[in-house]
Amino acid sequence: MKIKLFLCGLGCCLALSAQQQTDANRWAINADGGITWTIDGRLPHRDHIEMSGEQVSVVLRYGVEADGSFALERGMVFPLLRTIPNNTHASLMRRGSWNILDYVMLNGRKPSGEKVRNITLDGVMTAESVFDNDLDFKRILFPSTKSPAFCEKYVLRNKGQKPMQVEIATSRSAIVTDPTKGVDGEYIIEYSTVGQKSCSLQPGDSIAFYATCRGYAGSQDADATLNVESELTARRALVALWRGNLRLETPDDVLNKAFDFAKIRASESIYKTKGGYLHGPGGESYYAAIWANDQAEYVNPFFPFIGYSIGNQSALNSYHHFARFMNDEYKPIPSSIIAEGIDIWNGAGDRGDAAMIAYGAARYALARGDSQEATELWTLIEWCLEYCRRQINEDGVVASNSDELEGRFPAGKANLSTSSLYYDALLSAVYLGKNLGKNVSAYTAQAKALRTAIENYFGGTVEGFNTYKYYKENDVLRSWICLPLVVGINDRKDETIRALFSPRLWTENGLLTQAGSSTFWDRSTLYALRGVFACGETEKGMEYLKFYSNRRLLGEHVPYPIEAYPEGSQRHLSAESGLYCRIITEGLFGIRPTGLRAFALTPRLPKEWDSMALRNVHGFGVQGGFDIVVTRLSGGKLRIEFISQGNKILTRTAKEGAIVQISI
């Protein structure tokens, strides 16, 4: 898919009126909770979306051709079928076009003249078409929740005035892989259709049939079958769980829906491996493995809020895996643990991984509110903080070999990202340690000294903006200057925000990684938006959040945040969706865990809204979830209601921008 990239600032990116932006959208929110592309004259158009279950992932490259017909290519990934060499990318993968219409005959002929009417995304993909011969045809595509299979349901309806003779073939074809290239020998990828006996389809009647693509080791049961209807019920139930927990209610339907979709992608990409549940980025590259940034830092601290037990299990499991590599010599923890937990990748050296892990583990433990888990994680947090302390250079900031971009862009010998994450980790360790009865006075002193060092070492003028140098020698604006805002360092917030949203960094696709380049990674845009809300620039943050959310949810490539461009062709990596959700929880609502059963709340209610709410929030040891409702009062005040199981537990009134302490 070709992407046009323009450098533009506020004037050209956000000058569109709300109506103009809506008119430019390809997709629209529908009444059933999904988004729908109603096919118009803007053809051809293609897009791609990733969908995942515990043993399978698939990238659907789909679209509508110039003649109105449906196009589909399936990029199948089986994360637990490991290939040789068993490295980061060693999931069994196959990509191809399997035309299900080849198995359908109508009145003795193949259906022809397809015109797609609409495509809907709502946790499954549904495409509805009409054919020349009075046939309505519906495709429903989705991954199995538990099995290594991709499932497809097809529904034919006779919309004509005469009976229609229908023949649908039952078929099975299989690819058998080279046994010398599989960790467990040969693998089988099986394509099956479950057809129907020849029948006369009467006017107005419909008939369904099914197809699956399944992957398994040669030693497994080749005769196992899937009930696709049951699989569809299970997938819809799981999506409903993700949507029902941590519901965002605001006057802005696009934000509400973008948040809903981000919860799906953040939660579905968890694989049941030999090493336990492992959350994986995806993208036809990264499975059955964990990273110190994507998992430990980005998505794990989000899982307690959504109340998804498998998400919490995967988070705790990832920290346990990293803890295996603690050592008395304080050699670096590896950046990634791969191949279902049996190997590592550490090709970029120390990326600041200990800071990432300490930051994420401490926030996860606090938000989870489970004292046993917190005690388990405390040793890892302590080790990572001590590792960082030992990397402090003569200027008082943390040295590292690279950063999470692994050398794609310069990071110097000490970068702003690592020191910012270490600073926040120290603050969280103080909160957590006090709950666990630990002496944390040293961490308080270290955080104070580090904050001063961050200002002295990184603070400076870059391209005319009095903001931060990403590393000592840096003289070009970088998107990661947003990180001090995220961790509560607001000394240079005005100039930093001005730099972030200047034409040098901001584009129609969010922030450039480095001014003057053509590369963007959504993760820095998502961090920046959270930081802008966190530092109190609500109206500015909302303006850009709306623009970004509309583009990702309803534009040309939907419905999730993406990894990067041009690298990866805007893959729907999973952890970025977790970062989007944290814009809402930590930015807009200002939730900052301060104890196992306590958090600080600094809601940022936009001027155009009278109220906003997070419903069925989980975490902090609360059973059954709770609601946070923020309502505007007169005189610049807000009413904050904390509701549990329908009962108002407490009500607070505070000035806008004030921090409200909540103890549960």
Predicted confidence (pLDDT) per residue in 473-517, tens digit = 999 999 999 999 999 999 999 999 999 999 999 999 999 999 999
Regarding whether 566 and 430 lie in a shared domain, the answer is yes
Q: Looking at residue 76, what is its pLDDT?
A: 98
Instruction: Tokens for 122, please give them.
Output: 């709502």
272 lies in the same domain as 209: no
pLDDT at 645: 80
SS3 per residue for 336-401: EEEHHHCEEECCCCCCCHHHHHHHHHHHHHHHHCCHHHHHHHHHHHHHHHHHHHHCECCCCCECCC
Q: Kindly indicate the confidence band of residue 623, based on its pLDDT and cuts at 50, 70 and 90.
A: confident
Which run of H or of E encompasses 551? helix 538-554
Q: What percent of the chain has pLDDT over 70?
A: 96
Q: Express each pLDDT in 287-300 by its tens digit.
A: 999 999 999 999 99
Domain end marker among 599, 616, 644 = 599
Assigned domain for 28 exists: no
User: In whole numbers, what is the pLDDT of the chain averaged over residues?
Assistant: 94
Residue 15 has pLDDT above 50, yes or no: no
CB atoms within 10 A of CB 611: 15
Is 403 inside any structural domain? yes
Domain boundary among 184, 216, 238: 238
Residues 618/630, Cβ–Cβ less than 8 Å: no
Same domain, yes or no: 449 and 530: yes
Residues 324 and 342: beta-carbon distance below 8 Å: no
Instruction: Kindly state whether residue 464 falls inside one of the protein's structural domains.
Output: yes
Residues 6+ apart with CB under 8 A from 340: 80, 82, 273, 274, 275, 278, 288, 289
In this predicted structure, the answer to whether residue 647 has a pLDDT above a threshold of 90 is: no
DSSP tag of 626? E
Average pLDDT over residues 216-239: 88
- Report if residue 18 sits inside a domain: no
CATH of the domain at 39: 2.70.98
Q: Are residues 611 and 535 in the same domain?
A: no
> Are 607 and 588 in the same domain?
no
**Same-domain status, 576 and 531:** yes
| Predicted confidence (pLDDT) per residue in 16-34, tens digit | 445 566 678 999 999 999 9
User: Does position 65 have pLDDT exceeding 80, yes or no?
Assistant: yes
Residue found under tokens 């029902």: 244
Is 23 domain-assigned?
no
Residue 192 sits in the same domain as residue 258 = no
pLDDT band for position 562 (cuts 50, 70, 90)? very high
Co-location of 51 and 151 in the same domain = yes
Structure confidence by residue, pLDDT tens digits, 512-528 = 999 999 999 999 999 99
Is the residue at 357 inside a domain? yes
pLDDT value at residue 11: 41
Count of the separate structural domains present in the chain: 3
Quick one: pLDDT at residue 5? 35
Domain boundaries, position 80: 34-238
pTM, to two decimals: 0.96
Residue 136 pLDDT exceeds 90: yes
Confidence label for 8 from pLDDT (cuts 50, 70 and 90) = very low
Task: Note whether 236 and 51 are within 8 A (CB).
Answer: no
Q: Is residue 144 part of a domain?
A: yes
Same domain, residue pair 182 and 325: no
> Same domain for 194 and 279?
no
- Please indicate, yes or no, whether residues 463 and 362 belong to a single structural domain of this protein: yes
Q: Are residues 251 and 231 in the same domain?
A: no
Tell me the per-residue pLDDT of 378-430, one tens digit each, with 9 for 90 and over: 999 999 999 999 999 999 999 999 999 999 999 999 999 999 999 999 999 99
Confidence of residue 649 (pLDDT cuts 50, 70, 90): confident
Average pLDDT over residues 105-112: 93
| Burial of residue 445 (number of CB atoms within 10 Å: 0-12, 13-18, 19+) | exposed
Last residue of a domain, one of 599, 628, 654: 599
Q: Does any domain span residue 73? A: yes
Q: What is the mean pLDDT of residues 41-66?
A: 97
User: What is the Cα–Cα distance from 325 to 101, expressed in whole angstroms?
Assistant: 52
